[in-house]
């Protein structure tokens, strides 16, 4: 296939390298000829690096480079061009102008694709004489390594184009997911579940950014915590995406932005690229402060309360802790209450527990060796330090647990992050913006989560997840936590969250 790529920046050159290596002839052009020269030099250096590392033969690299054709004029006639991929700046008028000029230069048979990450594909296509020839083909940076592409049909896109683009993408070694033309498409939309909830936790002073990141990594198994991720992406970019998706979905509560970001963006606290974000960067930067050492009395008696307590009780017994077995705690014991979707304060009230000595523990199975201790305003600091020391205990020959101390909140940190990740994905599924399989594929490939959000929910179980959503919603009253129809129905019907279910169209 002969492909013309318009725009020789980071995305354009990455798409050019990807397509040329896959065997396609690629015309690379830009209104700035120096950008094309720099892009070709960059692709050459990437191919040379691949050869040096043994990932490609020198012959294959030379052949790929030969298939990359610098083009001086983006609007030059191209009777053999079958596909155009536009990768210019994110501006509706600019993209419409580019495609308008291409429409006059290229054959009617050429398919047009925009690499937009945030603009409406339908609105871009509307400026064309034939809007049916255009679809979205959204790559992620760096293109050769991010092996996922969103195929986005606009409202007028001809039905044969999305399957053809999917086949092209997958023949070149990437995975393709078909996504509705909605704000954020799929990956950026699904990613709001993590960062918006992390910001909400910070707003409520549940934990600081470093503490939330540690829990996200060590309990949920994420490669990066949400605040590390925002610093890497750039808070200016993240905040703009959050705002645009929230506005695009008409102020959907589940996607609500934080009041914390505008001032930080205005102050230039964008992350790595400015040297300071949620954390400092650059020479001399020490990163997040280290966790405080465990200093309490690990031998203090402990009483485990509540219906969720059996697993914690067994684990502490195995670690040699002094676990009381009576119907109520002794006067000297600290009390640990595993809570699911509710608060420690509610458990203190419901079970008649001593407020100064009662603490919450997240029962969510951890990906690493970290436990989370929730502290209420009534807590005795000495008892809190002792509870932390008890929770840090491990069995013989094992490393002690790291123990995060957070402010009491419904569901604690990890539960709220996970519930939000699953809820946002479930809302995408229930709107039929993408299939459950494509949602999970896009998120694991595009965001690097340890599991797709719907498959992750299935690990917990639909009924258990619904209990969590209901607990968060009833305890906080915040509509961002309301149970999703997708989870509610599947819990009631005994279906998995990854099950697309039967549609009415299947029954006629």
Q: Residue range 280-308: average pLDDT?
A: 92
Q: Residue range 285-314: average pLDDT?
A: 93
Is 317 an active-site residue? no
Would you place residue 217 in the very low, low, confident or very high pLDDT band (cuts 50, 70, 90)? very high
The confidence score (pLDDT) of residue 503 equals 87
The confidence score (pLDDT) of residue 400 equals 94
The confidence score (pLDDT) of residue 231 equals 95
pLDDT digits (tens, 9 = 90+) for 347-360: 999 999 999 999 99
Contact residues for 371 (Cβ-Cβ < 8 A; gap 6+)? 361, 362, 391, 392, 401, 402, 403, 404
The confidence score (pLDDT) of residue 478 equals 95
pLDDT digits (tens, 9 = 90+) for 93-102: 999 999 999 9
The confidence score (pLDDT) of residue 256 equals 96
Residue of 150, 270, 423, 481 marked catalytic: 150
Is 244 an active-site residue? no
pLDDT digits (tens, 9 = 90+) for 233-274: 999 999 999 999 999 999 999 999 999 999 999 999 999 999
Q: Residue range 370-383: average pLDDT?
A: 98
Element (DSSP H or E) covering residue 351? helix 344-351
The confidence score (pLDDT) of residue 395 equals 83
Would you place residue 285 in the very low, low, confident or very high pLDDT band (cuts 50, 70, 90)? confident
pLDDT digits (tens, 9 = 90+) for 126-168: 999 999 999 999 999 999 999 999 999 999 999 999 999 999 9
Q: Is the dihedral of CA 204, 448, 428, 490 positive or negative?
A: negative
Is 138 an active-site residue? yes
The confidence score (pLDDT) of residue 326 equals 87
Element (DSSP H or E) covering residue 338? strand 334-338
Residue of 115, 120, 188, 258 marked catalytic: 188
The confidence score (pLDDT) of residue 419 equals 98
SS3 track for 413-475: HHHHHHHHHHHHHHHHHHCCCCCHHHHHHHHHHHHCCCCCHHHHHHHHCHHHHHHHHHHHHHH
Q: How far apart are CA 364 and CA 406, in angstroms?
A: 15
pLDDT digits (tens, 9 = 90+) for 74-125: 999 999 999 999 999 999 999 999 999 999 999 999 999 999 988 999 999 9
Which percentage of the chain shows pLDDT scores above 90? 95
Q: Residue range 2-13: average pLDDT?
A: 96
The mean of the pLDDT values for the chain is 96
Is 57 an active-site residue? no
Q: Residue range 359-386: average pLDDT?
A: 97
Closest CA to 108 of 84, 136, 85, 87: 84
Q: Residue range 452-478: average pLDDT?
A: 97
Dihedral in degrees, nearest 10, Cα atoms 230, 234, 236, 239: -20
The answer to whether residues 496 and 463 touch, using CB atoms and an 8 Å cutoff, is no
The answer to whether residues 18 and 172 touch, using CB atoms and an 8 Å cutoff, is yes
The confidence score (pLDDT) of residue 329 equals 96
Q: Residue range 422-445: average pLDDT?
A: 97
The confidence score (pLDDT) of residue 319 equals 95
Closest CA to 480 of 252, 176, 272, 277: 252
Q: What is the DSSP letter of 269?
A: -
For residue 304, list its beta bridge partners. Answer: 336
Examine the pLDDT at 397 and tell me if it is beyond 90: no
Kindly report which listed range (41-50, 466-475, 498-507) carries the lowest average pLDDT score. 498-507
Residue of 117, 120, 258, 374 marked catalytic: 117
Q: Residue range 373-390: average pLDDT?
A: 98
Strands in 83-86's sheet, in edge-to-edge order, are: 68-71, 25-29, 2-6, 83-86, 111-114, 134-138, 148-153, 175-178
Task: Give the three-class secondary structure for 33.
Answer: helix
Residue of 138, 189, 473, 481 marked catalytic: 138
Residue 47 is encoded by which pair of tokens? Answer: 């191919």
């Amino acid at each position: 296939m002969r492909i013309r790529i318009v725009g020789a920046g980071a995305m354009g050159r990455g798409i050019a390298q990807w397509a040329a290596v896959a065997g396609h002839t690629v015309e690379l052009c830009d209104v700035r000829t120096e950008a094309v020269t720099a892009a070709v030099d960059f692709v050459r250096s990437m191919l040379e690096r691949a050869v040096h590392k043994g990932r490609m033969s020198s012959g294959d690299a030379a052949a790929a480079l030969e298939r990359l054709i610098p083009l001086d004029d983006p609007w030059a006639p191209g009777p053999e061009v079958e596909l155009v991929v536009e990768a210019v700046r994110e501006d509706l008028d600019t993209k419409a102008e580019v495609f308008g000029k291409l429409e006059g230069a290229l054959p009617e048979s050429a398919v047009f694709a925009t690499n937009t990450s945030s603009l409406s594909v339908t609105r871009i296509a509307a400026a064309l004489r034939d809007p049916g020839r255009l679809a979205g083909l959204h790559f992620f940076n760096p293109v050769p390594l991010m092996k996922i592409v969103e195929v986005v049909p606009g409202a007028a896109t001809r039905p044969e184009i999305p399957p053809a683009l999917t086949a092209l993408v997958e023949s070149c070694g990437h995975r393709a997911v078909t996504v509705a033309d909605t704000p954020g498409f799929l990956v950026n939309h699904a990613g709001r579940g993590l960062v918006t909830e992390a910001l909400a936790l910070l707003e409520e002073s549940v934990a600081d950014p470093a503490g939330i990141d540690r829990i996200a990594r060590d309990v949920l198994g994420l490669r990066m915590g949400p605040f590390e991720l925002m610093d890497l992406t750039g808070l200016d970019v993240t905040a703009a995406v959050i705002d645009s998706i929230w506005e695009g979905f008409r102020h959907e509560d589940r996607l609500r932005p934080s009041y914390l970001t505008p001032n930080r963006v205005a102050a230039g606290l964008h992350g790595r690229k400015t040297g300071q974000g949620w954390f400092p960067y650059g020479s001399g930067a020490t990163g997040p402060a280290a966790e405080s050492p465990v200093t309490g009395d690990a031998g203090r008696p402990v009483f485990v309360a509540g219906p969720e307590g059996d697993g914690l009780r067994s684990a502490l017994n195995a670690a040699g802790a002094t676990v009381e077995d009576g119907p109520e705690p002794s006067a000297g014991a600290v009390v640990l209450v595993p809570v699911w979707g509710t608060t420690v304060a509610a458990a203190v009230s419901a079970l008649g527990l001593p407020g100064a000595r009662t603490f919450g523990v997240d029962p969510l199975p951890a990906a690493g060796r970290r436990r989370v201790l929730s502290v209420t305003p009534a807590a005795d600091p000495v008892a809190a330090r002792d509870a932390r020391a008890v929770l840090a205990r491990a069995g013989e020959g094992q490393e002690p647990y790291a123990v995060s101390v957070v402010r009491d909140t419904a569901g604690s940190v990890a539960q709220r992050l996970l519930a939000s990740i699953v809820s946002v994905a479930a809302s995408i599924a229930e709107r039929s913006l993408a299939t459950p399989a494509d949602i999970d594929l896009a998120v694991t490939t595009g965001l690097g989560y340890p599991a797709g959000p719907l498959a992750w929910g299935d690990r917990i179980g639909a009924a258990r997840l619904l209990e969590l959503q209901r607990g968060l919603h009833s305890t906080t009253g915040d509509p961002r936590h309301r149970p999703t129809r997708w989870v509610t129905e599947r819990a009631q019907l005994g279906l998995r969250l990854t099950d697309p279910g039967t549609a009415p169209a299947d029954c006629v």
